[in-house]
Chains A and B, each alone.
Chain A
């Protein structure tokens, strides 16, 4: 089955996901949505890892393991990020990123 789908397809999908994630991160004002965009970026990277591993070095497993680590880190990161967002909400009564601009000169 993999033989029928060329590598390029995977790369196109992951690139699209990556830039959708970037776009979301830069344009959404809601912190939760920004967090979701980051997840998109991370997953696009995962796809790349797995695809390259499968197509270029089928005898190795490094890409798979790396994507597993990324998933684990992403889970931890989501937990921390949501805790931060909750604290921001308590302090600012909002999760709009534009209102959280006190860390400036």
Chain B
């Protein structure tokens, strides 16, 4: 076995960069801080590639499957004899895959940001936060135990909060960052409850022990039941709640569209490619427990994923802010991944969904980062997010146009680009697992193709628009990452994922199911065709259709009023029925007790303060009287 101790450097280098740039960045030229951040990430990326190469090809003997290796571990907090919190790095197929995804996308985003953020105030702050995020995310995927994961999970949330609120002078950005933090924090409450329930029943935080098929989590799965589900199922559902919050699954998705207030490279890195898939990673990490111990919890995962993907795809069709379209598309694609995990079984061909989910995670990271960075280049050129103010940009932005088109084709699932392969595996898994979800996903595939090409045509084709100044192509430092990611989007589909990342570590065969693949491609082509018909040239067709389905259109345009529902629940229900009584209790009972004690003391001291008259002889008299009284008591009464 190869020694993987060096993997701890992968998160530690960005941490060092964060501390260094964060503390000394304001003293250096902005470009220097950007270069330091990029260099740190490049180092981490190289290490990640070496790790992947060593793990998948060098240290592996054919036919034995991939095992998980605990490369490094220290006791961080030794609380009691039975409760120790450890930190370390765990190397197994999904963590290695995530290392590659995170460092690649993060490196691309770093390079891109050097150009995109040029001239912004707080340039070094931006790079420091990016490094902090990379550190947290890498620590999260390398976690050896669920508590370490929770720590980094929160760190990821904090860095997301900091980066969404990067333009902290803009009230909408501040509101969005708070919303993202509070919603995900609320979901993390469920995660924490789940961790505590799971660890209480199994006496361990350690992933290797938890997921072992002979371990306490799975063998003791029966146990006590509550409302028809075992304790294990409940704890896993709670853990999934944390994952759903981070991954913006319905109904905890409301923060993701607003998170687009952050700078576009941040959206690409955090809210498209890496952080939002943390929930998928969490479920994948605990997958054997879900699959073998608590299939009920897995059904919840599948349905939440399926509903989210449909819900988000419908909303994405009517939004006009290009980043919001991409945000809902992200939510929809993550729904796909969750669904694939949810319908999957464990081991061999049964574990197809597991493999498909990770495959899609990988390809999605490439093309979604590409889409966001392309959108960033467009925004950079026209200084607006609103696609109704765009059109006919293809001649001004040739590189962006080409890469964006590649990404759109990829996400639509047209062979032989990578999105086709991963989406096809998911559809096959859904077909074998759950027919209802399978048809939902067919519909979503069509919608995805439609709204992506609606976006594409609205930006790059359509009407000639007048801009403040002639739009210009982004500088090389921004277009090179686009090209690299486009390359990844095209060819990532040829990676032999079914040999590398499987639920039990053993390779299996995945023949292409043409009976499923061909209809899905046809549906995607149909979606593209409709979008072409409606949006390639300026026509009245979109408005007519919107008028014909005016109710559906309105609901979709207003995101099914989810924000309003949340506002109603928080402002009207929670504030009035819970917060108000609690505040009353605090003000009157808790504070009242304290104020009462203080009041009594004050009252007593006012009453007796006359004793301190300033007259020495009065004091002496009292003293002598007391002394004599004591003498009399001691002499005569004792």
Give which listed residue, A25, A102, A103, contacts B617 with CB less than 8 A.
A25
A105 beta carbon closer than 8 Å to chain B: yes
- Asked if A102 and B620 sit within 8 Å, CB to CB, the answer is no
In the complex, which residues 24-40 of chain A have their Cβ closer than 8 Å to any Cβ of chain B?
Answer: 25-27, 34
CB distance from A68 to the nearest CB of B (A): 25
Docked complex Cα distance between A11 and B624 (Å): 20
Binds B, one of A1-9, A54-62, A69-77, A93-101: A93-101
- Asked if B620 and A103 sit within 8 Å, CB to CB, the answer is no
Chain B residues closer than 8 Å to A20, beta-carbon distance:
none
Question: In the complex, which residue of chain A has the Cβ closest to the Cβ of B606?
Answer: A105
- Asked if B615 and A26 sit within 8 Å, CB to CB, the answer is no
- Asked if B617 and A26 sit within 8 Å, CB to CB, the answer is yes
- Asked if B614 and A104 sit within 8 Å, CB to CB, the answer is yes
- Asked if B621 and A102 sit within 8 Å, CB to CB, the answer is no
CB distance from A60 to the nearest CB of B (A): 26
Give which listed residue, A25, A98, A101, contacts B620 with CB less than 8 A.
A25
Chain A residues bordering chain B, tally (CB within 8 A): 13
Docked complex Cα distance between A101 and B621 (Å): 15
CB distance from B397 to the nearest CB of A (A): 82
In the complex, which residues 604-625 of chain B have their Cβ closer than 8 Å to any Cβ of chain A?
Answer: 609-610, 612-617, 620-621, 624
A22 beta carbon closer than 8 Å to chain B: yes
- Asked if A104 and B612 sit within 8 Å, CB to CB, the answer is yes
- Asked if B609 and A22 sit within 8 Å, CB to CB, the answer is no
Give which listed residue, B613, B614, B624, contacts A22 with CB less than 8 A.
B624
CB distance from A98 to the nearest CB of B (A): 7
Residues 621-632 of B, flagged 1 when their CB comes within 8 A of A and 0 if not, give: 100100000000
Residue with the greatest number of chain A CB neighbours at <10 A, chosen from B610, B617, B620, B624: B617
Chain B residues closer than 8 Å to A103, beta-carbon distance:
614
A-B contact pairs, 26 of them (CB 8 A): A22-B624, A25-B617, A25-B620, A26-B617, A26-B620, A26-B621, A26-B624, A27-B617, A34-B617, A97-B615, A97-B616, A97-B617, A98-B615, A100-B614, A100-B616, A101-B613, A101-B614, A101-B615, A102-B614, A103-B614, A104-B612, A104-B613, A104-B614, A105-B609, A105-B610, A105-B612
Residues of chain B having any CB pair with chain A under 8 Å: 609-610, 612-617, 620-621, 624
Other A-B contacts than A26-B617, A100-B616, 19 sampled, CB-CB below 8 A, are: A22-B624, A25-B617, A26-B624, A27-B617, A34-B617, A97-B616, A97-B617, A98-B615, A101-B613, A101-B614, A101-B615, A102-B614, A103-B614, A104-B612, A104-B613, A104-B614, A105-B609, A105-B610, A105-B612
